[in-house]
């Protein structure tokens, strides 16, 4: 009897030991998998990912800074026609963004998904952008002598397709970050690299534009219908850079299989759509972000026209002044982290808003004509 109890006790201990060994093996396997994921992000891959949004960055810089200038001063469209074209583009972008975001999350099992669900949308967006953006900053081909209505329809068609492609590149590129790594530090690093190339892209656009506009007496001449080829030179220059960067992105960045990416995302908690829509903080953040983006976009869109029409500055200033503004914001961003630690995010945001409002008031007062003395 004693021998039987001892034997059963030994078997029980053996089972417990096997369970612990199995758990240790599973943990080691998970650790190895995590290490494999973590180590799969070399510097070459990070840089290749960062340049994947350069095409969008250079096009966005041209779109917001020089669209009104080109259509109003070069093509001589009226104020409302130029503003309507800009509005069409923004509405198309607003509709295309959720559409692309929803469908890029779907895995329908099509054969081309093997290329990568995100990358296939990115590639589609690149094709749309490259096939339409040059026609936006160019005279109406075959309809230069047609009525404004026909020309408006011509440009609206290209603008809608361009905005769809731009949204496809933006959403697919940003949503690729959690597909590449589950590590928060790596995700932050990829986001920082993405922003770094955004800064470089904007600086290059303004430098190229300044060089092109500075030629042929750019210090004294104003923008007019004869400057159309200059804008086309700028467009083709920045698009060439965007094409090279997009090729690098698609060659070196490999998207995981759907099963692997779903397993990575499956371990994360998700908030339901209902809870998201009922959260007050969502609308607070949305209102603050919308106001900030509105200020930035309005500044970027109307400063060139303000320089040309109100201050009557030379053509080269349409590139040099936006470049100085962008470099100023870049230098300020280097100190934001320290200011946030000292003052907090809310106080820092309030300080930035006050500085922006003060600058707007200063511009408004400075643009008023001086009253004659006596």
Please give the pLDDT value at position 220.
54
62-90 pLDDT, tens digit each: 999 999 999 999 998 999 999 999 999 99
Residue entry with tokens 């086309």: 232
Centroid of chain to Cα 15: 56
Stated length of the chain: 374
d(CA 207, CA 102): 37
The answer to whether 180 and 41 have CB atoms below 8 angstroms apart is yes
Distances (CA, A) of 136 to 132, 153, 243: 7, 12, 18
Fold of 42-264: Growth Hormone; Chain: A; (1.20.1250)
SS3 for 346?
Answer: helix
189 C-beta neighbours (distance < 10 Å), count:
18
d(CA 296, CA 294): 6
CA 163 to chain centre: 12
pLDDT at 193: 86
Give the tokens for residue 276: 């998201």
Residue linked to tokens 């259509």: 71
- Calculate the CA dihedral of residues 292, 295, 296, 297 and round it to 10 degrees: 120
Contacts for 228 with CB less than 8 Å, ≥ 6 apart: 70, 74, 75, 138, 139
Among candidate residues 97, 85, 93, 86, the one with its CA nearest the CA of residue 64? 86
CB of 92 closer than 8 Å to CB of 163 = yes
Q: Is the dihedral of CA 314, 302, 229, 147 positive or negative?
A: negative
Instruction: Note whether 48 and 249 are within 8 A (CB).
Output: yes
3-state helix, strand, coil in the chain (%, to 5): 80, 0, 20
pLDDT of the residue at 239? 95
pLDDT digits (tens, 9 = 90+) for 300-328: 888 888 888 888 888 888 888 888 888 88
pLDDT at 247: 94
What local confidence, expressed as pLDDT, does residue 127 receive?
95
Task: For the chain, list residues with pLDDT below 50.
Answer: 2-8, 12, 26, 29-37, 111, 258-269, 371, 373-374
């Amino acid at each position: 009897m004693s021998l039987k109890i001892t034997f059963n006790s030994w078997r029980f201990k053996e089972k417990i030991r096997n369970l612990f060994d199995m758990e240790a093996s599973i943990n080691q396997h998970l650790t190895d998998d995590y290490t494999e994921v973590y180590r799969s992000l070399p510097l070459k891959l990070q840089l290749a990912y960062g340049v994947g949004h350069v095409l969008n960055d250079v096009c966005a810089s041209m779109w917001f800074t020089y669209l009104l200038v080109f259509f109003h001063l070069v093509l001589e469209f009226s104020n409302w026609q130029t503003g309507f074209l800009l509005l069409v583009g923004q509405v198309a972008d607003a509709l295309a963004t959720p559409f692309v975001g929803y469908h890029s999350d779907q895995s329908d099992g099509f054969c081309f998904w093997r290329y990568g669900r995100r990358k296939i949308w990115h590639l589609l967006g690149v094709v749309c952008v490259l096939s339409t953006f040059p026609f936006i900053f160019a005279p109406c081909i075959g309809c230069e002598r047609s009525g404004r209505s026909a020309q408006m329809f011509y440009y609206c068609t290209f603008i809608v397709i361009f905005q769809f492609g731009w949204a496809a590149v933006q959403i697919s590129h940003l949503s690729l970050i959690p597909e590449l790594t589950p590590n928060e530090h790596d995700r932050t690093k990829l986001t920082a690299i993405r922003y770094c190339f955004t800064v470089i892209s904007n600086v290059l656009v303004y430098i190229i534009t300044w060089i092109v506009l500075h030629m042929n007496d750019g210090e004294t001449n104003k923008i007019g219908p004869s400057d159309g080829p200059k804008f086309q030179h700028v467009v083709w220059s920045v698009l060439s850079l965007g094409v090279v960067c997009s090729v690098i992105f698609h060659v070196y960045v490999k998207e995981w299989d759907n099963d692997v990416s779903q397993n990575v995302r499956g371990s994360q908690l998700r908030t339901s759509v209902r809870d998201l829509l009922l959260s007050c903080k969502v609308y607070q953040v949305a209102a603050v972000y919308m106001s900030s983006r509105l200020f930035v976009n309005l500044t970027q869109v109307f400063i060139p026209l303000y320089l040309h029409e109100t201050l009557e500055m030379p053509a080269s200033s349409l590139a040099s002044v936006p470049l100085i503004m962008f470099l100023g914001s870049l230098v300020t961003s280097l100190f934001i982290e320290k200011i946030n630690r000292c003052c907090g995010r809310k106080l820092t945001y309030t300080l930035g808003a006050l500085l922006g409002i003060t600058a707007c008031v200063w511009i408004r007062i400075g643009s008023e004509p001086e009253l004659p003395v006596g």
